[in-house]
Amino acid sequence: MGPASNDSGTDERVTVLTFDLEEQRYCVRAESVASVLSLTDDAPLADASDPWDAGTTAVAGERVRIVDLPRAFGSTLRTAARVDEPKLLVFDATDDDGRYYAWLVDDVDVTRTVRTAVLEPPTVRTTYVKGELELDGAAVVWLDERTIHES
């Protein structure tokens, strides 16, 4: 599993999974996502004091730590009007307590294969973003799941 950036000057083909948060499109390496689930009741997450550790749930008998990305990346730390059925991106990585990570997102789209050579540096300096690219005429922010899970 090699890095998905072109820091070394290589041009790799990487499959990414696109998803939405509010009005922005994001992506992450598809190979790091174990499953995508619908979340019918996100009310317990609304009261979490820390969106980076908004609670846990059980998925297939495993404990999953939820990162509330709409609150963590949104314009405010409060829960804005949520979509009716947000999604959970469950990752194959675990924290120090053995819990898997999951990101709460508004909607999940499709996987796409992209070339790392088209990745532009982020417009805002942050460790969570690998870069930006264009898909179907729209800007997409590529998130680095490893740095987010270290938060």
Task: Copy the structure tokens of residue 8.
Answer: 């070394």
Helices and strands, counts by H and E, the chain: 3, 10
Handedness of CA 56, 144, 104, 32 (dihedral sign): negative
Nearest to 68 by CA among 93, 86, 92, 84: 86
pTM of the model: 0.80
The residue length of the chain stands at: 151
**Span 92-109, pLDDT tens digits:** 988 888 889 999 998 999
pLDDT in tens, the chain (151 residues): 334 444 445 788 999 999 998 888 999 999 999 999 887 777 667 778 888 888 888 888 888 999 888 888 765 544 556 667 789 999 998 888 888 999 999 899 989 999 888 888 877 777 888 889 998 888 999 998 888 887 6
Q: Domain extents for the chain?
A: 13-149
CB 24 within 8 A of CB 113: no
Between strands 62-68 and 100-105, the pairing is parallel
Distance CA 151, CA 147 (A): 7
CB 132 within 8 A of CB 140: yes
**Span 17-40, pLDDT tens digits:** 999 988 889 999 999 999 998 877
